[in-house]
Amino acid sequence: MSERIAIYPGSFDPVTLGHINIVERTSKIFDHIHVVVMHNPSKKYLFSVEERVKLTGLSLEHLSNVSVDYHCGLMVDYARKKGVKCVIRGLRAVTDFEFELQMANANRSMCPGLEIFFLMSDVTYSFISSSMVKEVAKFGGDVSTWVSPLIERELKLKFVQT
C-alpha cells in the first residue's frame, strides 16, 4: 500500500491558528503532509520567505508527519517534483470556494490526476485571514486568539521596525 502524501500550499504570511488547525486535522488523515510556503516575487510580504518557513515550521513542530518547505513558482510544479497527487485547501466562506474552485480546475488542467481536498475551517477560525491579522497587529490590536504566542511576538517585532 502506498503512502498517502499531500501538500498544503499557502503564503503563510503569517501562519494563523486556522492554518495550524487545518494541518492538525489533515495530519490524522494523510501519512505525510508537505506544508509549502509559496513565494511569488511580484507579491509584497511582511515576512521574508525564510522567516515564513521558519515560523511555520516552529508552529507545526508538534506534528511528526508534517514537513515545511518553500517553492517559488506554480504549485503544480512542486506537486510533480514531489510526486504528490493530493492538495489540501482550507475554506472559510463561500467567497473562498469560488476562488479555490477556479484554482483547482486550472491546477487539474495543468496536472491531470491531481486531487484537491477542500476542508472547511473550524468555526472558531472561519473568519481569520493572514491579511486581517497583519492589519490588526499593525495598529496594535490584540491578535492573541488568532495566532500563536510566537507569531504574535514576531508581528509586534515587525511592526516596531516599520
Using one digit for the tens of pLDDT, what is the confidence trace for 38-52?
Answer: 999 889 999 999 999
Element holding 124 (H helix, E strand)? none
Angle between the N-to-C axes of helices 149-161 and 49-59, in degrees from 0 to 180, rounded to the nearest 10: 160
pTM of the model: 0.93
The C-alpha angle with vertex 68 and arms to 64 and 74, in degrees rounded to 5, equals 140
Residue-wise pLDDT tens digits, 108-146? 999 999 999 999 999 998 889 999 999 999 999 999 999
Asked if 8 contacts 34 with a C-beta cutoff of 8 angstroms, the reply is yes
Confidence grade of residue 2 (pLDDT, cut at 50, 70, 90): confident
Separation between Cα atoms, residue 141 and residue 25, nearest integer Å: 28
Amino acid identity, residue 116? I
11-32 in b/e form (b: 16+ CB < 10 A) is: bbbbbbbbbbbbbeebbeebee
Higher confidence at residue 26 or residue 97? 26
As its CATH architecture, domain 5-161 has: 3-Layer(aba) Sandwich (3.40)
The pLDDT of residue 95 is above 90: no
Rounded Cα gap, residues 148 and 118, in angstroms: 24
Residue 150 CA: distances (Å) to CA of 55, 74, 115, 138, 144: 8, 29, 33, 16, 10
Q: pLDDT digit string (tens) for 8-19?
A: 999 999 999 999
Catalytically annotated residues: 19, 43, 92, 130
Question: What does the alpha-carbon distance between residue 27 and residue 117 come to, in Å, rounded to a whole number?
Answer: 13
Interatomic CA distance for residues 14 and 132, integer angstroms: 10
